[in-house]
Amino acid sequence: MAGAEPLPVPGDAEGGGNESVGTVILAGSANLAIALAKLVAGLFAGSSAMLSEAAHSFADTITEVFLYVALIRGRQPADEEHPFGYGKESYVWAFIAALFTFVGGSAFSIYHGITSIVAEEKSGDFLWSYIVLAISFVAEGTSFLRAQRQVAGESRRWGVTRSRFLRLTPDTTVKAVYFEDSAALVGLVLAALGLGLTQMTGDEIWDGLASVAIGVLLFLVAAILARSNASLLVGRSVPRRIHNQIAADLAEIPVVVAVPTLLTMQLGPGDILVAAKVDFEDEVTGGEIEEASDEAERRLRARYPGIRYVFLDPTRGAAGRHHMDGGIE
C-alpha cells in the first residue's frame, strides 16, 4: 500500500545485525586507544578537562563491551524457558551501558572538574594535550562517520528522517554509538576550549569548567539512552503509522468485520508481537477463521518481516470499528 511507513528494524534485513556489530567493534577499539592517549596527556599536563576526556573514553569503551554483549545475547533463539526469545536481554545490557556512561563518565567528570576549580590546581605544558585531542578527533570522527552512514542508510531504506529513525529504532546499539560518538566529538571541542582559555588567561577555572561541561554532556546522553532502553524493556509498541497499517491489513481480510483491539510489542531489535481481538462474520465456519488467521499472518509478515508472532482472538465488535491511532507517535 502506498504511503506505508516500514518499521525501522535493522535486524530484519540480511546483514543489518552484522553492520551493528562492526559499528560497535570499531567504536570500542577507537575509544580504548584514545582513552590511553588522553590519560597520558592529562597526567602530563595536569589538565582536568583531559582527565575527564580520558574517563569519558574509558567509559565509552566499557559501554561498547556492554553493547557487544547486548547484540550477542539478544540473538539467542527462543526456548521453553523464554518462548518469545531473548531479544529483550539486549535492552537490559544496553540499559546497563547507559548507567555506566553516567557513573563512569559523567559523575567522574563533574566531580573532578569541581575539585579542580576549588583546589586551583596548576596545569603544565598543553602541547601534547592538543596533539592528542587532534588525533582523538580524527579517530572519533571515523567511528562517528560509520555510525552516521548506518543511520543514514537505514533511514533512507525505511523512508524516514534520521531523527525519527533514531527515536523509533529498536536497535539500541547503533543509537548508543551514534549518540556517544556525537558527545565525544563535542567533548573534545569543550576540552580544547578549556585548555585554550586556561592557557590564554592563566586562570585554571576554564579547565575545570570544561570538565564539568563534559560531565553534563555525558549525563544528557546517558539519560536519553536510559529512557529509550527503559521504554523498550517495559514493552514498547510499534510506531503509530505501522499500528494503523497492521489494523488496515487485518480489516481488509474478507471475513473480518472489525478489529476492536490491536496490541503490539517490540520483543527485541528484530522481533515484534501482534495480538488482536478480531470480529469475524457470524456465518463463517471455524475452518474459514483458521484460513483467515493464516492469511493475516502471511500479510503482516510480508509487509513487515520483523513481525514474528501474530495472535488473533475471535470476539464480537461493531462493524467497521477498528482500533486505529495506537502505538507511539
In this prediction, residue 320 carries a pLDDT of 63
d(CA 292, CA 312) in angstroms, rounded, equals 10
How does strand 256-268 pair with strand 271-280?
antiparallel
Secondary structure (3-state) at 82? coil
N residues, the chain: 329
In this prediction, residue 264 carries a pLDDT of 93
Range of lowest pLDDT (36-40, 184-188, 191-195): 36-40
Quick one: cell of 72? 550477542
Quick one: cell of 244? 494503523
DSSP, res 62: H
Other Cβ atoms less than 10 A from the Cβ of 286: the count is: 8
Quick one: cell of 8? 525501522
User: Can you tell me the mean pLDDT for 186-198?
Assistant: 89
- Which DSSP string do the residues of 184-219 spell out, in sequence order? HHHHHHHHHHHHHHHHHH--THHHHHHHHHHHHHHH
Q: What crossing angle do the helices spanning 240-251 and 286-303 adopt, rounded to 10°? A: 140
Q: How many Å separate Cα 41 from the centre of its chain?
A: 32
Scanning the structure block, which residue is given the C-alpha cell 586551583? 120
Query: Is 0.85 topped by the overall pTM?
Result: no
- Going by pLDDT thresholds of 50, 70 and 90, the confidence category of residue 193 is very high
